[in-house]
Structure 1
Amino acid sequence: MTFNKQLLFSIGFLMLTFSCFAQNAQRTDSLLTVLETQKLSKKEKVTLLISIASNHPQQDEASYYARQSLQIATEINDPVLQAQAWEEIGAIEQRLGNKNNALDGIFKALHIYDSLNLKDKQAASYAQIAAYHFGEKEYDPAITYFQKAEKIYSEIGDDLYKALALINLGDTYRLNGQLEKSITTLENALRLNKSLKDEEIEGYTLGNLGMVYAAQEKLNEAKENLEDAITILTKLKDAYSTSIYISELGNVYRKEGNIQLAEEQFLVAYTMAKEARLKEQIRDFSASLTNLYENSNRYEEALKYQKIYQKYQDSLVNKENIQKSEQLKAGYQITKRESEINILNITNANQKRWGIALISGFVLLLFFAYLLYRGNRKIKKSNQVLSDQKELISKREQEKALLLQELNHRVKNNLQMVSSLLNLQSRELTGHPAQEAIISGKYRVEALSLVHRKLYQEGVDTKIALKDYIQELVLGLFEGYNVKFEPSFSIADISIGIDVAIPLALIINEMVINSLKYAYKDIEDPLLKIVIMQEAVEDLHIQVIDNGVGFTKIDNEKNNSFGIKLITSLIEQLEGTMERINTKGTHWEMKIKLN
């Protein structure tokens, strides 16, 4: 739970982001009327342009006015106004999703504030940078900049913003896994608030402390802090934070084994999120309810909330795709506007040169004007052709990337739904001979689903990281079979195409499941090791080793089982070889072609 989402932590661009669209549009129209009708000094004009950029609903237009304000502020040599213009440019670039440009704007503003020794402005800029890294889940730099902001607020004696910085810093420590530091930092915020007596600070600090204690399995302390936070924030009518803390309280009850109370809290959080139209929270709370009901064998209710989860998950993914499309559109409009400005600047420069040329001689002017006209005409024609081709290629590449990403997303969702259905069916067949086959089918489907999830998350066309993929696949099987020991990996850090990744995943899936099901009976120190190395440019060497009971005579007679047939078929498909080495346990050794 991040406190700057609630109190906006003295960050100008965040306040603008959450402004009402209709009010911003009306205010923008009013400000533009003032700009066009009133005679303003350059300093007043800069301030007005920054305000227009802050409120303008169209990001390409907002960028234009922000950069215009920076140009005038530079002309009048006003460093404070220049810093404010850079801050606004950074905020706009952040809304457009341009990370490097956003940070560049904020750092340029910070450099100016440093040179002027404006401590409060420096601290706000540090907090703004930290908030940006936090939003990108880059917790180490976020911690660094929150610490810098907190130190400056301590130096200037601003206890309110120091408390806010401590809350943000504590929550960042929590998400970064530094739980003891998180507790110490949040307790410092509580002590500081004894003099401030701010209910919002009290509520968010207690809520975040509760979440830290829950992560440490200190359930009594977690409940006490979460309940106090919920009481305070309910009175303040903060549905967003209250629903999150209520859901976290449900998780605490669930850890205690009190399923009824856990269900009640999840339902209250879900209802509150639905009334407040908090899509991400509706999705997350639906997932919690699905998991709770599924583990309680209440499959009808589990399926109900699974459908709700899928609905909101798809909605949020579509929203992200629309936002990305808007970012691309805004980026194109900004580039177009800058090109128009550059053309106007070139035209003005040419007019000045023509005026000087008139003094030198009319004939000479006509000659140079003629050459300039011909040159500009050729340049414009060439640039127009190149621009049209570049735009066409860019649009096609964007459409291709979005469609491929959406395809992977849909395939992943469909495979996950099939896996869920197989899982539900296997529970209904407990004790039936068909249950084992359905469970095996479920894990094969999940191996396929994992490929498409990797492609969707990593944003590539046809390749995935082999090491991460195999580790996640095997760890998922260990979790599914409730295995207590950890597997050992030695995997080359390479990327492979999906034509190799899918059959390879199915092969390892079959071998690992076989070991987990049959190998470790009466084995005191079980071991499973997976080694995958690239021996040549086109060769991959795979070993799956366990120290189990090995293949018995009966096992040898089962070489025609479906699993063995599947592995043999896949090895042939990859133009490879397979050998079982006679050692204690089972040692599979395979070589396959990468291409």
Structure 2
Amino acid sequence: MKKIVLLLIFYPLVLIAQDNISELEKKLETVSGIQKVDVLNNLANSFLYDDTEKSMSYAQQALELAQEEDYILGQAFAHENLGNNFESLHDYQQAVTHFIAARDAYILANRPASIANILNYIGIVYDNMNEYPTAIGYYKQSFDQYKELQDTLGMAMIVNNMGGVYDVLGKYDKALYYYLLNMQYNKVINNDDGVASSMNNIGNVYQALKDYDKALNYLQQAKQMYKALDDTTGIAMTVHNIGIIYHDQGKYDKALEAYLSSMQSDLKRNDKVGLAASYNNIAIVYDEMNKLEASKEYYMKSLTLSEEVQDRYSIANTSNNMGFLFLKMGNNDKALEYFERGLEIAEELNALELIKESYDGLQQYYYKKGKLEDCLEYYKRYEDIEDSIFSQNTKKEIAKLQMQYDLDSKQQEIDLLQKDNEIKLLQLNRQKNIRNFFFAGLLFLIFLVLLVYYAYVIKKRMTESLLKEIEERNKIEQQLKQSLKEKDVMLREIHHRVKNNMQIISSLLSLQTKYIKDKDALQVFRNSQDRIRSMALVHEKLYQSEDFSSINFAEYIRELIDNIHLPERHNIKITLDLEDVIIDINKAIPCGLIVNELITNAFKHAFPDNQDGEIKISMHLGGDNAYTLIMSDNGNGLPESFDWNETSSLGLQLVSGLVRQLQGNIDVVSEGGTKFTIIFK
């Protein structure tokens, strides 16, 4: 059974100053135009967390008036207020719509700090909707904005939120990396609240990895910092998470005490998310204490609250937990219902930990039902995902990150001690000099001269040593530059020679075609010549490029088409829709050969009897870094008996092999012509 751990997600600070509400309402009656828009936005912001209805009303009025006045910044503030209101109501689609509108307006108004804040808001909304890849994308955009602004607090906020996403997904190496980075940023700016929250989150990662000593160490530090800050919410959260550690260790009385304490705090603050987590974890304790009816009651409370706030991750988690409870109670059919619900949501979220829990429950269910084959299948799935989550690579990466952080911290301590020792040494020297001055002026002067002379000698030696070191480094740097330059020349020469050799082969084939009378044989030679040209063109592009390893695909395809031996059919149009994507040589050559084969095939078979036609070629890079290459024609299409896997066409067999080389997929549709869709990364 999986307990719910409380993480901290950071929201940007509200930008609009909150004046006295009564003064704002009086001011509203005396102003007009742009000033009225600002007052309405201030009122909307003031009521944001206290009276959603009023806040939305003021924000809507502000938006309408700002649009009438063509006041871009006022529109941005109004959209931001509306987005915050819809987010608090869990209407995430509306929230995203308004936040994106706010972002666009801030871009027009040239407000980079506001753009960074809004991008974080959008990431949080997608995070709440469990659309994690999209959330990460917006978080990264926000981080880049904050980095450009040199806003350390903003960068700390974003890396924490990114760590939270990877934590939920069970990718603990990445989660720990971002949490440690968050702690470093907060220490730099002396943000104790941020340091405490990062310690809480790091403790949760170690709890998930069953390293309870490290987990308790971080959580206890977080608790003490929250006490010093008098932060009751932070204290309740860390107490809850410490309860989870005791729970894992089988100390049920201590765990229950911690959960109940956290629950009381959640009730006072009406924190439904925290309350759902407390209910879930209390239910688990009662389950393990064999108080099954009490456990069921708290699970139902947790599930109801999670559904109310649309927390799909918690719904899946509590559903799995209820499945285990019903197995224990002997209600196997009810258990299956909850396991299947939990698995369906977990797979949609790609939440590895939850998927693992569902597999475990299903293998236990089928074992009880005597369906051993199904039981074994789910047990294998459980083992596979368990190995994936806790792989040795992950543990090594975590150890490496922790070690690096410890080394950095120790180095900082050493630097501070060295500075402290230097200060103390200066103080002692000063006292000694004062004593010597009073006791013997002459001796002091001699000492001072000797000290100055000694310092001069040391400084001279250090200067000479530094100059020598600088000179040696400059020599090494020049050698490295020369080596890199020679490497570039060699790479350029290699690609140039490969291209020339291929052109020689192409020329030999061209000469040979002059002596071939058989049309089929002639076509085979020309096809081979086109294939060689397509590869030669890649190497030509490479030695013309800056890095010698990648080319512009759009430019390459345009030149490739100009070099292919195609029949002079002016009634066939070739349309290109190519995104300016950069691809490396390992993708460029197979793609070029695929385009060559499919164009040649279309000209040969798609348009018999000199009929009119069109061939379309498109290439785009998707948001998931997947390339989509589409080649289609409006010709006769493939024969009904055509079987892609059984084709005897050398060209299509070559295309199939090239797609496998790209580790991609190909889809062939023959309706109103033929369409080849190839997707690869």
User: What TM-score, normalized by structure 1, do the two folds share?
Assistant: 0.51
CA contact (8 A) 2:92 2:129 kept: no
Match of 2:262 in 1: 272
Q: CA deviation at 1:152?
A: 1.9
CA contact (8 A) 1:286 1:306 kept: no
- Once the two structures are superposed, the pairs formed by residues 79-478 of structure 1 within 5 Å of their partners are 79-255=72-248, 258-260=249-251, 263-277=253-267, 278-295=271-288, 298-300=289-291, 303-304=293-294, 306-311=296-301, 313-314=303-304, 420=325, 423-424=328-329, 439=330, 442-447=331-336, 476-478=361-363
Q: CA deviation at 1:219?
A: 2.9
CA contact (8 A) 1:170 1:181 kept: yes
Q: For the structure 1 residues 449 and 195, does the alpha-carbon distance in structure 2 shift closer, same or farther, using more than 3 Å as the test? A: closer
CA contact (8 A) 1:50 1:69 kept: yes
Q: For the structure 1 residues 444 and 272, does the alpha-carbon distance in structure 2 shift closer, same or farther, using more than 3 Å as the test? A: closer
Q: CA deviation at 1:73?
A: 2.2
For 2:77 and 2:214, locate their aligned partners in 1 and report how far apart those are by CA, in whole Å.
44
Superposed CA deviations along residues 497-536 of structure 1, whole A, max 9, x for unmatched, are xxxxxxxxxxxx84626975xx99xxxx9989xxxxxxxx
Match of 2:35 in 1: 44
| Aligned residue identity for 2:8 | F
RMSD of equivalent CA atoms: 4.3
For the pair 1:9 / 2:12, whether they are aligned, the reply is: yes
Q: For the structure 1 residues 72 and 169, does the alpha-carbon distance in structure 2 shift closer, same or farther, using more than 3 Å as the test? A: same
Q: For the structure 1 residues 62 and 279, does the alpha-carbon distance in structure 2 shift closer, same or farther, using more than 3 Å as the test? A: closer
For 1:213 and 1:416, locate their aligned partners in 2 and report how far apart those are by CA, in whole Å.
26
Superposed CA deviations along residues 122-141 of structure 1, whole A, max 9, x for unmatched, are 11111111111122222222
| Aligned residue identity for 1:211 | N
For 1:83 and 1:171, locate their aligned partners in 2 and report how far apart those are by CA, in whole Å.
28
Q: For the structure 1 residues 125 and 41, does the alpha-carbon distance in structure 2 shift closer, same or farther, using more than 3 Å as the test? A: same
For 1:83 and 1:270, locate their aligned partners in 2 and report how far apart those are by CA, in whole Å.
43
| Aligned residue identity for 1:140 | P
For 1:159 and 1:452, locate their aligned partners in 2 and report how far apart those are by CA, in whole Å.
42
For 2:107 and 2:342, locate their aligned partners in 1 and report how far apart those are by CA, in whole Å.
45
For the pair 1:512 / 2:371, whether they are aligned, the reply is: yes
Superposed CA deviations along residues 30-80 of structure 1, whole A, max 9, x for unmatched, are 644432x42x14121011121233327665654443233223323333322
Q: CA deviation at 1:243?
A: 3.2
For 1:450 and 1:193, locate their aligned partners in 2 and report how far apart those are by CA, in whole Å.
41
What percent of counterpart residues are identical? 18
| Aligned residue identity for 1:267 | E
| Aligned residue identity for 2:13 | S
For 2:162 and 2:357, locate their aligned partners in 1 and report how far apart those are by CA, in whole Å.
31
CA contact (8 A) 1:93 1:101 kept: yes
For 2:199 and 2:253, locate their aligned partners in 1 and report how far apart those are by CA, in whole Å.
23
User: What TM-score, normalized by structure 2, do the two folds share?
Assistant: 0.45
For 2:341 and 2:184, locate their aligned partners in 1 and report how far apart those are by CA, in whole Å.
49
Rg (Cα) greater in structure: 2
| Aligned residue identity for 2:361 | G
Q: For the structure 1 residues 191 and 275, does the alpha-carbon distance in structure 2 shift closer, same or farther, using more than 3 Å as the test? A: closer
For 1:452 and 1:155, locate their aligned partners in 2 and report how far apart those are by CA, in whole Å.
44
For 1:473 and 1:224, locate their aligned partners in 2 and report how far apart those are by CA, in whole Å.
31
Q: CA deviation at 1:244?
A: 3.3
For 1:44 and 1:117, locate their aligned partners in 2 and report how far apart those are by CA, in whole Å.
20
- Structure 2 unaligned residues grouped into runs of 5+: 1-5, 311-317, 347-354, 382-681
The SS at the match of 1:3 is coil
For 2:305 and 2:379, locate their aligned partners in 1 and report how far apart those are by CA, in whole Å.
44
For 1:312 and 1:156, locate their aligned partners in 2 and report how far apart those are by CA, in whole Å.
42
For 2:145 and 2:202, locate their aligned partners in 1 and report how far apart those are by CA, in whole Å.
24
Superposed CA deviations along residues 119-174 of structure 1, whole A, max 9, x for unmatched, are 21111111111111122222222222222222222222222222222222222221
Q: For the structure 1 residues 280 and 268, does the alpha-carbon distance in structure 2 shift closer, same or farther, using more than 3 Å as the test? A: same
Q: CA deviation at 1:207?
A: 0.8
For 1:473 and 1:208, locate their aligned partners in 2 and report how far apart those are by CA, in whole Å.
25
Q: For the structure 1 residues 451 and 144, does the alpha-carbon distance in structure 2 shift closer, same or farther, using more than 3 Å as the test? A: closer
Q: CA deviation at 1:203?
A: 0.5
CA contact (8 A) 1:287 1:306 kept: no
Q: CA deviation at 1:231?
A: 1.8
For 2:242 and 2:96, locate their aligned partners in 1 and report how far apart those are by CA, in whole Å.
37
| Aligned residue identity for 1:512 | K
Superposed CA deviations along residues 148-201 of structure 1, whole A, max 9, x for unmatched, are 222222222222222222222222221233322222222222222333222111
Superposed CA deviations along residues 393-424 of structure 1, whole A, max 9, x for unmatched, are xxxxxxxxxxxxxxxxxxx99x969x957835
CA contact (8 A) 1:279 1:312 kept: no
For 2:32 and 2:99, locate their aligned partners in 1 and report how far apart those are by CA, in whole Å.
26
Q: CA deviation at 1:226?
A: 1.6
Indicate the larger mover: 53-62 or 72-81: 53-62
The SS at the match of 2:371 is helix
CA contact (8 A) 1:270 1:282 kept: no
- Structure 1 unaligned residues grouped into runs of 5+: 17-23, 322-411, 425-438, 459-469, 484-508, 529-595
Q: CA deviation at 1:254?
A: 4.3
For the pair 1:53 / 2:56, whether they are aligned, the reply is: no
For 1:233 and 1:284, locate their aligned partners in 2 and report how far apart those are by CA, in whole Å.
20
| Aligned residue identity for 2:290 | Y
For 1:121 and 1:445, locate their aligned partners in 2 and report how far apart those are by CA, in whole Å.
49
Q: For the structure 1 residues 217 and 449, does the alpha-carbon distance in structure 2 shift closer, same or farther, using more than 3 Å as the test? A: closer
